[in-house]
Amino acid sequence: MSAVDGPAPVNGGEVLVPSGAAREESPRDEQGFWGKLGPGLITGAADDDPSGIATYTQAGAMFGYGLGWTLLLTYPLMVGIQLASARIGRTTGRGLTSAFAALWPRPVVAVAVMLLLVANIVNLAADLGAMAEVTRLAIGGPEALYALAFGVVSLGMQAWLPYHRYVRILKWLTLSLLAYVGVAMVAQVDWRAAFAGAFLLRIQWNTDAVKMVVAILGTTISPYLFFWQAAQEVEEIERVDKDQPLKRAPRQAPSQLRRLRLDTWLGMGFSNVIAFFMILAAAATLHANGKLDIESTAQAAEALRPVAGDAAFVLFALGILGTGLLALPVLAGSAAYACAEFLKVRRGLEKPPGAAPAFYAILAAAMACGMGISLIGIDPMKALVWAAVINSLMSVPIMIGVMLAASSRRLMGELMLPPGWRVLGWAATAAMAAASVAFVVTSLAS
């Protein structure tokens, strides 16, 4: 084997450095545990955005503890597809759009990018509306002004803070999700029923139940998360001097692939644990007191006050704001990365706006569209749940693209996704497809 060929694949596709070879250490090897976490943790936390909060709260309010099992189902599936996306970015040094473009005709790639844009803009609008509504409930004032303010602040931070500084803020914002553990703690959770809901599979074949399961899958396994995590791996390669795409520097593969697995398993685990606590809190407070249909985030927050006290209300509201501030840049940023890659223009949050004007113009346009839709009076809670359903329906073709790209020897070389991870990624794709078909069938039958 020549030096150009790189190390031989073993253990189903993972790469080990030949015995005696010098190993190129990434600076991450010298960092502590917190320093090793990054794209996976931020991506997982951003998954519990106001859209996710609305969906999990509605699930707990309508079905009590009965849908807790969905989070155990989605965890490994989520890890499978996210790890495939991250591996594409780290191995090739380019995002998903560029990876797709290397394998398929541009019209096919254009459809995938358009699907992402539609889902992200709807999600942005729903998240901004939820944040504005909760702020109005807490301090009064006009919701429209708050929606505009949150959008402008998020856009400004992305434009004027370089990635290496902004990513630190995003990592600390992930801690805002702990507010929902606090909500569950102050509520009187029936832990026996909670564990039964988590470990006993109960499926109700009716429109409401199927729609809710699809919404949970859609808000947990969302297209924008695939694009974002892959793009952030590319940003990390550019940020760290010693880091290179693994196809170019295969000796970095052992340490980087270990980091990818750790970051992704923990990030997605954190996301699903928090989602489980959201369902518990809603089941213990809203469902237990007969409040089965929550029509707005404000109603959800307000309903908690007489049942679980002011502390639960405050934690719920702060959680929406914190996770919203985390999710907005992920939604707008993933859309901008995808479009900029398709247009083959300079891109990256590490670059100032003047160095990547088209990238930041797309970022601003996505945020502006989201702000515009949030101002036309759509009910935030319904928009949030439907945003999750749209994500679910649109994610299947994009997930197929991710799995084909991650399994392509032409694109990934010897670092293509190992068989075990391929099974997990395709299982996630199949689960999303089945849920989408079930939603269509039950909707037509009702």
Residues 6+ apart with CB under 8 A from 95: 88, 89, 227, 230, 231, 234, 337, 338, 341
Average pLDDT over residues 81-96: 93
Residues 6+ apart with CB under 8 A from 335: 116, 117, 120, 121, 224, 227, 362, 363, 366
Are 71 and 272 contacting, i.e. CB atoms less than 8 angstroms apart? yes
Q: pTM for the full model?
A: 0.81
**pLDDT over 70, % of the chain:** 83
Which ranges in 286-379 belong to alpha helices (H)? 297-308, 310-343, 357-374
pLDDT at 116 over 70: yes
Who has greater pLDDT, 439 or 396? 396
268-284 pLDDT tens trace: 998 899 889 889 988 88
Question: In the prediction, which pLDDT does 13 show?
Answer: 41
Question: In the prediction, which pLDDT does 435 show?
Answer: 80
Average pLDDT over residues 325-336: 88
358-385 pLDDT tens trace: 999 999 999 999 899 888 866 655 666 6
* C-alpha distances in Å from residue 400, one per residue of 101, 373, 396, 410: 14, 30, 6, 17
140-152 pLDDT tens trace: 888 889 999 999 9
Question: In the prediction, which pLDDT does 12 show?
Answer: 38
150-203 pLDDT tens trace: 999 989 888 888 777 777 777 777 777 777 787 777 777 888 998 988 888 777
pLDDT at 25 over 60: no
Question: In the prediction, which pLDDT does 157 show?
Answer: 86
* C-alpha distances in Å from residue 68, one per residue of 44, 54, 64, 213, 259: 18, 15, 9, 10, 29
Question: In the prediction, which pLDDT does 213 show?
Answer: 85
Q: What is the DSSP letter of 5?
A: T
Question: In the prediction, which pLDDT does 362 show?
Answer: 93
Residue of 225, 229, 226 whose CA lies nearest to 404: 226
Q: What is the DSSP letter of 30?
A: G
Calculate Rg over the CA atoms of the chain: 21
Question: In the prediction, which pLDDT does 443 show?
Answer: 66
pLDDT at 69 over 90: yes
Question: In the prediction, which pLDDT does 238 show?
Answer: 81
pLDDT at 390 over 80: no
Tell me the pLDDT of the chain averaged across its residues.
80
Task: Encode burial over 18-54: b for 16+ CB neighbours within 10 A, e otherwise.
Answer: eeeeeebebebbeeeeeebbbbbbbbbbbbbbbbbbb
Are 217 and 74 contacting, i.e. CB atoms less than 8 angstroms apart? yes
* Cα–Cα dist 47/51, whole Å: 9
Q: Which residues pair with 10 in a beta bridge?
A: 14
Among 5-14, 145-154, 316-325, 422-431, the range scoring the smallest mean pLDDT is 5-14
279-303 pLDDT tens trace: 998 888 888 777 777 766 666 766 6
Question: In the prediction, which pLDDT does 15 show?
Answer: 40
Confidence band, pLDDT 50/70/90 cuts, at residue 387? low
Average pLDDT over residues 19-33: 44
**pLDDT over 90, % of the chain:** 23
Who has greater pLDDT, 32 or 250? 250
Who has greater pLDDT, 54 or 63? 63
Residue 159, classified by CB atoms within 10 Å of its CB into exposed (0-12), middle (13-18) or buried (19+), is middle
Question: In the prediction, which pLDDT does 37 show?
Answer: 61
Who has greater pLDDT, 33 or 58? 58
Are 183 and 319 contacting, i.e. CB atoms less than 8 angstroms apart? yes
Who has greater pLDDT, 161 or 14? 161
| Both tokens assigned to 324 | 């919203």
DSSP 53-104: HHHHHHHHHHHTTTTTHHHHHHHHHHHHHHHHHHHHHHHHSS-HHHHHHTTS
Confidence band, pLDDT 50/70/90 cuts, at residue 386? low
**DSSP helix, strand, coil percent of the chain (3-state; round to 5):** 75, 0, 20
422: phi > 0 → left, psi -120 to 50 → alpha, else beta; which?
alpha
